[in-house]
Amino acid sequence: MSTDRQPNPSNDFMIEVQNLSHSVDLGTDSLTILQQVNLSIGKGESAAIVGRSGSGKTTLLGLLAGLDLPTSGTVHLDGHLISALSEDERASLRSRRVGFVFQSFQLLPTLSAIENVMLPIELAGLPDARSKAEGLLDRVGLAERMQHTPRQLSGGEQQRVAIARAFAVDPQVLFADEPTGNLDTRTGEAITELLMTLNREQGTTLVMVTHDQQLADRCQRHFVIEAGVLHEKQSDKQTVTAA
């Protein structure tokens, strides 16, 4: 295994996974969640991961983002081998590169909408947090609701705030875990639209977990996961094992 911390010069991939397997210890025996996953996603590409509930999508997303380390195999994020990094180094790696959108929004209930968006900007030590956040909230259509706390917002509105927050640090890669999972179809479509548009505008790499086929179809790449095994579905709707 390479312990090279320098960006790997040999490729332009944002995310590169080789022979990744992951299992968790359940005391007596262990449960294998992911098996021999290989995938690479280029910079600026959008990828959808589709699969049944419990198939391992969220686990994979967490591993790609460096929130956890795989049991075996390697993950390169923006050229960095994440298993060679300490927890704090991985956190620093995320701070300006990575954004998240969650199924359950994960806004801080005690902060107003604008403060929720400002938070990652300030944490990353970037300037002009407020004006940047105002711009983003305006962009997602919440210019009038900036001072409201999450409790005063509907689900769709909360997810808009979360999307604004995810784009706040101009991330190179955005991870979204079923962003429309908690929303009705109409609202979900609006959110999808917003997410795709912003992604295109910012040139962000997008990795999105969903079981919304339409949403998946709008991504350039399309992966299917089944019982921990990952396949890439070609755009001509033929399934082959990912390279």
Ligand X SMILES: Nc1ncnc2c1ncn2[C@@H]1O[C@H](COP(=O)(O)OP(=O)(O)O)[C@@H](O)[C@H]1O
CA torsion sign for 64, 69, 17, 171 is positive
Name residues contacting ligand X, limited to 50-79 (CB under 6 A). 51, 53-59
Among 46, 58, 158, 192, binds Mg ion (CB under 5 A): 58
- What is the DSSP pairing of strand 46-51 with strand 221-226? parallel
Pick between residue 59 and residue 83 the one whose CB is nearest to ligand X: 59
Indicate the Cα dihedral angle 85, 87, 93, 98, nearest 10°. Answer: 130
Nearest to 111 by CA among 144, 142, 151, 140: 151
Nearest to 34 by CA among 230, 231, 237, 228: 228
Cβ(142)–Cβ(161) below 8 Å: yes
Beta carbon of residue 89, minimum distance to other proteins (angstroms, whole number):
8
233 binds other proteins (CB under 8 A): no
Among 11, 92, 154, 197, binds other proteins (CB under 8 A): 92
Listed ranges 38-46, 65-73, 187-195, 212-220: which one lies at the site for other proteins (CB under 8 A): 65-73
Residues listed for the chain: 243
Q: Which residue is nearest to ligand X (CB)?
A: 58
* Binding residues vs other proteins (CB under 8 A): 58, 61-62, 65, 67-68, 87-88, 91-96, 98, 100, 102, 106, 108, 110-111, 115, 118-120, 122-124, 129, 151, 177
